[in-house]
Every structure is written in C-alpha cells, then in structure tokens.
Structure 1
Amino acid sequence: MLRIALLFLALLALPLKAATVTNLYQAQVALPDTDRQSEQAARKQALEQVLIKVSGQSNIVENEIVAKALGSSNQYVSQFSYANRDGQRTLLLTFDRSRIRTLLTQANSTFWSELRPSVLVWLVEDANRSRNIIWDQSSNDLANRIKDDGDRRGVPVLIPIGDFEDVTAISTPDIWGGFVQPIATASQRYQPQAVLVVRARQQDNEQVTLNWQLYSGNVEQLGRNKVAPSEGRNSGETATSVAQMIDSVADILAAKYAVQLGGDTSGQLAVVVENIQSSKDFFTLERMITNLTSVAAVNAYRIQGDRVEFTVQLLSTEDVFQRELSQDSRLSAVTTPVTEQYEPAPQPEGMIRATDVSASGEPSVQPADQVNPVAGEASGVDVSDTEQLNSDAPVETKPAKQAAVFSWSDTTSAAL
C-alpha cells in the first residue's frame, strides 16, 4: 500500500474539535427493590436510556423493533454491578456496543458517535427580583440539572467559569436581551460547537419558565448573525422543564450530526484532498476520515505531490458522509462534485501506483524516484522500492463516483 513508505513518520492524529463522550453505553438506574421484577424493569429502563443516547432520538422507543427489543434487554448487557447514589441503591449496566449498533441498524434508526459537539450554556436566572449570570462554580440547582440532563442524553455541556475575562466580555443584559455579538465574543475562548442561551424565570413551588435559543455551528458565524437559532420554551416543575429543554436540544443536534443506519448506501467513493504538506497531515487526515461514523473503510488510492486520493467505503449514504466531512474545519471544498470513471494505465515493474490525470484527461505516470508521497519530505523517505508492480499484477480501478475535491489546512501541523 502507498502508506507503507510513510508509516514510520506517522504521528498520532489530532482529534476533531469536539468532545468525546465515554459513557454512551452505560446507564445507572434506581433499584427500589431487590426482587427479580424490579431488576428487570431497571434493566429495561437502562437499555432505553442507552438507546436514546446512542441514537440521538428521544422517541426511539416508539420504533416497533426497538420496543420489542426492550422486552429482552438481558441479551444486550455486557456488564452489571450494584452501587449507591444519594443513598439510593442502583443498578449500573454496560451494554454491548456491537449489539446496540446492530439493533439500531435493524430498526433503520440513526447512530450518533462518541465525538459530539460541546454545548456552551449561557444561563441567566431571574429570581427574587434579581437577574444573575450562573457560572460553573456557583453550585446552582438549574446549572447542575442542565449538566445532569446533558449527561443523560450524551451531550457535553460547558458552563462558563466566570473569571475576569468572562465578566468583562459579557453582562446579564447581553444574555437576557439575546444580543448576539457579545455572546459570540464571550464564547470564542471556549470554542464550542453550539451555544445555548437560557433565560430562566423562577416561580413559586419549584416552578420555572425557560426560554432558550440554540445556536449550532461555528461561533464566528454566530457573531456575524449568519446562524439562525432554534428556539423553545418550557414551563412547569423545574426538573421536568430542564429535562424537556435538554431533550429538545439533543434532538436538534442529533438531527444534524447523527447518521442514518440501514437502508441503501452509496457504496464506494473517491475523495481527493490537496495541500497535504507532511506525513503528519496524511495520517491525521486518514484517521479523521476513518473515524467518521458513515465510513466502513478507507484506502489511500494514490499520492501525487501534495494531492492524495482515498477510496472510501460507506456504511451510510453519500449525503451523510458529505455532511460529516464538511463539519471538520480543516477541510474546505475547492470544486463541485464530478462523476468520472477510468482506469490507471498499466505500469511496468519499478513504477509506483501513482497516476494523475492531465488537463486532456489522459492518465500520466511518474517514475518512483520522482514521486513524493508527501510534499517537502521526499529527502527523508525512500520510496524507490514501494509497492512495485509485476507484469501480471492486477490493474486497480478508480471508483466510479468522485465525491469532491478538498483542500487541507491544519495550522498545528504546519507549525511543526
């Protein structure tokens, strides 16, 4: 394979600018009694929680296949133990990842991977004729409930820390009035993938009214008023209102980031990425594509100068793959998708499998000693013996459909 010549230069790929949720397949539920019936009910409740987290759908139990599976929850459990939470005996369950994924595929449901957008919450509480911004260390009941419900739905929640930089960047009237520019400016330091603005009006008897706006996407676009928010209002008992708000937020984000399982897929695509300046760029990019939920397998088809072409086998649809790919800020599209099919010319022994297409559309090849797997690093990599072809070696065929051409930009890698 083409990547063999670069392997010894590889560094660990940098993660996407998102949070990794580690407890998607775990649930802890109250166990009010020790009898078998109570434990079975707890197992069913735990499986329901996990399916909601992993699918991103709060109404997943309405699916007929899922509803049937809830009746036999034991087959999905991989580990269990007993614990205590706030003096209440609980059952802690871990579910099998592959079986959960198979169930969601059978149900033609969605799947939301562990890499999830972090949500920065600007919360102003109106109570006792006073309005205050709630900071992370305030031990505020509303803020704690938002964090707990975020954990329940697998949504990484950030509460601003409230240091000097925060309090000088934003004020209570900015948040209560929904002024986008100061909210965007104050949010920049946290680099969230979504911003949730909450105005909470406390009432008597543990009642609350929550008016909220969710901005999902780039914070810079938020500052330029290019992101229209999703809005909602929840009123009633505090715990219920917060849970309903977070359910709505999670459903909105899942609709954007989760991928559809089951049904028809688009098969194999070619993805071309330009401006690969180092071996670190190459392996970072390869790992990033491999880790996409919609991708089954990735192979470097050819490397030519600073241009790399991958063949990608999909688990989901092409639209889902394109959407996932576009969410990484290091990639920018440089051309519209094209449809083309051709075979690279057979190459004699001593040639590396690296072809290119000239402006006339004819395939061209370069001798192995002229091909640089990664621009600017040829002097450090000997590729003279890399993947030579025999006279009877099979000729690879390029995938029929090319998804798009992208340009790569990784400032961290460039600095190295």
Structure 2
Amino acid sequence: MWRVAFFLVALMALPLQAATVNTLYQAQVPLPDSDRQTERTARVAALQQVLVKVSGQRDIVSNDVIRKALENSSSYVSQLGYGNEQGQPVLEISFDSEKIRTLLTQASATFWSEQRPTVLVWLVEEANRDRAIVWDQSGNSLQASLNLAAAHRGVPVLLPIGDFQDVTAISVPDLWGGFSQPIANASTRYQPDAVLIARVQRRSDSMQLAWQLYPSSPAAMLDGNSASLEGRNSGDSVAAITAMMDQVADNLASRYAVQLGGATEGGFAIDVANVRRVEDFFQLEKLLKDLSSVASVNASHLQGDKVRFAIQLLSNEQVFARELSMEPRIQAQPAASLVRDVAFDNQSAEDTTPAKQEGMIVPTSREGSASEPLSQLDVSGTQAATSSIGLYYWNPNA
C-alpha cells in the first residue's frame, strides 16, 4: 500500500499543464561563408544544440558516445536549408528524432520529451534608479535575449501581458522583494508549471541579474510546498540571461528528463476507467507507449469499461506520474476510488479460467474498429494481472 500512496502523492504534487515544444530537433547556426569545412563545423554545432535541448544536459558533448557521433553529424540530418537572420546567412537544419533518441540511449544519457513545463517570467528592470516590469510585447531588448536563451534550451517561457488585471494584482516592490504570495496570486491566471522572478540592475557596461525560480505551480507556492532556487549572474545582457536560463533549464531537466539505457526491473499496472470503444483503447495505448519514461505497455485485464495496463519503465514511477499528469485526456482518481475497486484486483488474482472479462488479446489493426464497443475485442486469452497502483479516468474529448 505504501507504493500506492507514494505514487498518488507524487502525482498530486505535480503540475497539470505543459507546453509542446515542436522545435527540439531543429537548429539554426551562423554560416559566415560557403566553404565546405565551414558548413561541416556549422552542422556539428547544430547537432550539439539539438542534443543539449533533447537531453537537457549542458555537458552532453563530454559523453564519449556523443563525441564520436559528432564526427558523423550528417547521418543524423533529415533536412537542411539556408536562410537569413538579421542580414546574416544561417544554416537551418532538422535532425531525425528517432536517430537522436537512439543515440542518447546508446550514450546512456537523459531524454526530455517535447511536453515541457511552461515558465512564467516576471522580469523587473532597474535603470537610472527607476524600476519597471517588462511586459510581453513591450519591445524590451531583455525579452528578446530571454526568448533566445530559452529557445536554445527548449524551455517554453511567457511574460505577463500587463493588462489591467496584471497591474492591479502585482507591484514592482512585490517582485523586487520576492514576496511569494502576491506573486503566486498574480501568476495563477496564466496556469504556469513554474514561476521565475528575475531582477535586473543596469550598469554602465554590464548588468547584475538576481533570480528566483519556483519550479512548481502557483498553487504550490501558496501552499508553501514549493521551495525556490536562487541565483545571480552578471555580464552583458545576453551572457547574464543565458547563464540564468541554463541554470533554470538544468533544474527543470533534473525533474523531468528520463534516464535512458535500459528498462527498470519489475513493473506495475494502472487501471483506466471509461474506455468504452475500441478506438478509445487504441488512443489510450498509444498515449502510454509514447511517454518517454515507458519501455513497454501491455493490456493485461478487461472488465466492463475498465482496462488494466501492465507497464515497464525506462525510468521510475515518479517520472511516469509526472509525464502522465501533463496529459489532459487521462486524469488520476483519488485514493478512495482505488479502495472501492479492490474487487477488480481480487477477481484478477482469483479467476483462472479463461473468460471474456478476465483477459484480452488486442487486435493488431484498427481497421473497421473505431465504432465498436470495447466488449467486442477478442478477449479469449488470459494474461497474469499485476496489482494496480493507480486508477485513472479516460476522457478522449479533453
């Protein structure tokens, strides 16, 4: 029972919103001339960018397997083109996602999926003894530096819009003093997964940057369940903000990235209710298989509208719960619901005669099955059912 409790507590403490980053496998690097060696150097730099984004590791290039792969960077390219950025020629490259994932697995590195926590950034600038909040679409150069640094690490960021609701909910002293309650209240409307407060002091030739990251939701900040990470950086605006975003990304990656290199020993199972049609089953199965923490998924039991899935992981259950919490179509049910379903566990353990409610063999094709009730699946075979540690509700229309 301790395993169930740990899993549910971990899940309920996790963020419920996330953003999909569609540019993880793309990079844009300067191309000062058309020399063949220059292009090769640019291609290597682009692959390094992508590997850092996808792995979440700044030092990924120190891995021996990765270093060797960089010598053959062209084999990972899926598309290559030439462009122009602010009057300068650039090389635009897309890399094969499957090959990148395989490479990271071979290197026993980490993998950070496209579903990533959204970070709300409260940015306050002090210049000439005046302090002001940098709002979205303000045209402030700090925002451009922030967006570029965040993009290089694959971290989705947003700045508050600065409308009437914002300016009445928060003040510069609140942000400069790092007062968590008003910051959390003002942040709630944006439903971020993390909140970053950055305070910039301009100097004649440099800037000082002090920042504070709450790596959880505003609700966790209000409950006192979110400890903050603090840091200081200095230099020109690009260098200071890049250093801050590197540290922020490192922290988030340590929470969300999955260790690759082999499945964990043993497994567990989850029960999912409201799986009523065959198409629901296929969509749910695909969702589970696509999670970066999952090694394999097998349906082991069927009863009514409830399906039990046996799960083998590439990581641990907490990482699995964190990934699952970002998917709106599947929702965790409270522990009381799990207790009410003890009969489902008991029947799984006691029944040994093959029967339709005991086990299932899933068809290998969706053809002609989209509108069929789930009960029409071939369930003539029985698989051993592992004890479930969580109950979920499937909502395909979410």
TM-score, scaled relative to structure 2: 0.82
Task: Tell me how far apart the structure 2 counterparts of residues 83 and 343 of structure 1 sit (CA, whole Å).
Answer: 65
Helix, strand or coil at the partner of 2:353: coil
Distance 1:286 1:48, change over 3 A: same
Is the contact made by 2:269 and 2:308 (CA closer than 8 Å) also made in structure 1? yes
Higher helix share: 2
The question of whether the paired residues in 1 share the 8 Å contact of 2:263 and 2:295 is answered with no
Alpha-carbon distance in 2 for matches of 1:273, 1:260: 26
Change (3 A) 1:388 1:324: closer
What's 2:204 paired with? Answer: 204
Letter of the 2:215 partner, please give it.
S
Measure, in 2, the Cα distance between the counterparts of 1:38 and 1:395. 60
Q: Deviations over 1:215-245 (max 9, x none)?
A: 1122211122220011111011211111110
* 1:97 matches 2:97: yes
Instruction: Please state how far the C-alpha of 1:286 moved relative to its aligned partner.
Output: 4.6
Match of 1:345 in 2: 352
Number of the residue aligned with 1:138:
138
User: Contact 1:118/1:155 (CA < 8 Å) preserved in 2?
Assistant: yes
2:6 is the counterpart of 1:33: no
Match of 2:82 in 1: 82
Q: 1:308 corresponds to which residue?
A: 307
Partner of 2:21: 21
Distance 1:277 1:388 in 2: 15
1:395 matched to which residue of 2? Answer: 382
Offset at residue 318 of structure 1 (A): 4.5
Deviation of the 1:250 alpha carbon: 0.6
Conservation of the 8 A alpha-carbon contact between 1:260 and 1:320: no
Contact 1:213–1:231 (8 Å) recurs in 2:
yes
Amino acid at match of 2:222: G
Alignment of 1:8-407 (within 5 A): 17-205=17-205, 207-266=206-265, 268-273=267-272, 276=274, 286=285, 288-305=287-304, 307-318=306-317, 320-325=319-324, 330-332=331-333, 334=335, 342=349, 344-347=351-354, 351-354=355-358, 385-387=376-378, 389=380, 394-399=381-386, 402=387, 404-407=389-392
- Tell me, what secondary structure is at the counterpart of 1:137? coil
CA contact (8 A) 2:276 2:373 kept: no
Determine helix, strand or coil for the equivalent of 2:137: helix
> SS at 2:160's partner residue?
coil
Gaps of 5+ in 1: 1-15, 356-379
- Structure-2 change in CA distance of 1:388 and 1:129 (3 Å): closer
RMSD after superposition = 3.0
Compared with structure 1, are the counterparts of its residues 344 and 80 closer, same or farther at alpha carbon in structure 2 (3 Å cutoff)?
Answer: farther
Percentage identity across aligned positions?
49
Structure 2: any 5+ residue segments left out of the alignment? 1-15, 360-370
Q: Look up the SS of the partner of 1:131 in the other structure.
A: strand
Q: Deviations over 1:322-347 (max 9, x none)?
A: 443456683256269x9999574223
Once residues 127 and 176 of structure 1 are traced to their aligned partners in structure 2, the CA distance between those partners, rounded to angstroms, is 14
Q: State the distance in 1 between where 2:350 and 2:188 align.
A: 47
Q: CA deviation at 1:312?
A: 2.3
Kindly indicate whether the alpha-carbon contact (under 8 Å) linking 2:26 and 2:50 is maintained by their aligned counterparts in 1.
Answer: yes
1:287-338 CA distances to partner (integer Å, 9 max, x unpaired)? 54333211244343333356431122434444533443456683256269x9
Q: CA deviation at 1:382?
A: 5.7
Cα distance 1:291–1:224, how it changes in 2: closer, same or farther (>3 A)? same
Would you say the 8 A contact 2:120–2:159 is kept in 1?
Answer: yes
Q: For the Cα contact (< 8 Å) 1:344–1:396, is it kept in 2? A: no
After superposition, what is the alpha-carbon deviation per residue over 1:142-194, rounded to whole angstroms, capped at 9, x for unaligned?
11110111111111110111111111111111111111111111111111111
The count of corresponding residues between Structure 1 and Structure 2 is 362
Aligned-partner SS, 1:195: strand
Task: Name the aligned partner's letter for residue 171 of structure 1.
Answer: S
CA–CA distance in structure 2, aligned partners of residues 251 and 28 of structure 1: 22
CA gap of 1:147–1:382, structure 2 versus 1, over 3 A, is closer
- Work out which of the two has the higher radius of gyration on C-alpha atoms and give 1 or 2: 1
Structure-2 separation of matches of 1:278 and 1:264: 31
